Amino acid sequence: MDQLICKNFDEFKAYRGKQLPLGKWLTVTQKMINAFADATKDHQWVHVDLERIKKESPFKKPIAHGFLSVSLLSKMLMDLIDIESLAMGVNYGLNKVRFPHPVMVDSRLRLHSSILMIESYAEKGLKTTWDCSVEIEGLEKPACVAEFVSLMFEK
C-alpha cells in the first residue's frame, strides 16, 4: 500500500473522483471486540460469550459489532492519506451504511475507497465525502460499505 501524500488542500482536491490506494490489512481481535463492547455497553453474546458462541452461533466464532467496522473508517482513511497542511479533522456523519457480511474474530480487513465529493466548509475547511468498502480477506462480500463524511481544516 502506498500512502497518498499531499502538501495542502489544493493538491488533495485533485483526487476527487479517483480511486485511492488500497488500504493495509488490519486484524480484528477479540481484545478489540471486547473493548468495543465495553465502550458501547453492547455485550450481546454473539460478540463476547465464547462458550455460548461455540454452542449456539451459526458462525461458531465471535463476530465483531457492525459499528466496530464503521468506526475503523477514520483510522483506515488516515492510514491512506497524509495532508501535510492538515491541522485537524472530525467526523461529520454517514450518508449510507450497510454491513453485508459479519466480521469473524481474527478476520483481516482493508479499505477500498475513493473521494466522491469535496466542498468548501467554513474558513480553511473542507467537507469530504468518501466512498468506502471494507474488504474481508478471502470473502466476496464486504464487512461494511459506507459514504463517510468528514471535515478537515488547514493550519
Architecture of domain 4-154: Roll (3.10)
Q: What percent of the chain has pLDDT over 90?
A: 98
Distance CA 141, CA 123 (A): 40
Q: State yes or no: pLDDT of 1 exceeds 90.
A: no
Q: What is the number of helices (H) and of strands (E) in the chain?
A: 6, 7
Please enumerate in sequence order all residues whose Cβ is within 8 A of that of 141, keeping only pairs 6 or more positions apart, or say none. 100, 101
Tens of pLDDT along 28-81?
Answer: 999 999 999 999 999 999 999 999 999 999 999 999 999 999 999 999 999 999
Q: What average pLDDT score do residues 127-148 get? A: 98
pLDDT for 149 equals 98
